[in-house]
Amino acid sequence: MRTFFTTLFAALLFLPALAAAANLDAPWGQAHAVEQTYTKQKVVYDVAVNSEAAVRSVISRAVLLASLNGDDPFDSKIVIVLHGNEIPFFAIKNYAKYHELMQRAQSATQSGVIEFRMCRIAAKGHGFEAADIHGFVTLVPMADAGIVRLQQAGYAYMR
């Protein structure tokens, strides 16, 4: 009788392993989703990228985050700080080439939740002054100092 219980106990110990072996593509089972609500989030995106696709991705993430927060400018705020090779995309003289991207960026600011800031030093490094950049962008003296200031004001940092 003892051998029977020992065998039964051993079999029970190996059942999870046998179940996992039955599905070799998912040895840890499947993930589960949770529902959460988001409010009162303040976020700063630190952007220094080299492609339109990367800028588009940041804008999409910011728009989704704003939407998840209810698109309420009194409740949440998202600041996208530009200071890399994406700066020429925002130049007025390049509008014809990047018009779809700029329309997407400007449209993202309409709810009042999302705003674009650009490093004046980096813009100058690309040969641009404030008058050369689209009007929905605000130039700040230095991106790094601006990001630090936002973090000090409680903004979460995103790259």
Whose tokens are 């509008």? That residue is: 95
pLDDT at 1: 61
What sign results for the dihedral spanned by CA atoms 139, 133, 159, 45? positive
pLDDT at 18: 52
Domain that holds residue 47: 42-158
**pLDDT tens, per residue, the chain with 159 residues:** 666 555 555 555 665 555 545 578 999 999 999 999 999 999 999 999 999 999 999 999 999 999 999 999 999 999 999 999 999 999 999 999 999 999 999 999 999 999 999 999 999 999 999 999 999 999 999 999 999 999 999 999 999
**Total number of domains in the chain:** 1
Residue 20 lies in a domain: no
Domain of residue 131, CATH code: 3.40.1260.10
Residue 33 lies in a domain: no
Torsion of CA 116, 39, 149, 146, to 10 degrees: -10
pLDDT at 23: 77
Residue 67 lies in a domain: yes
Residue 34 lies in a domain: no
Q: Which tokens is 147 given? A: 């990001």
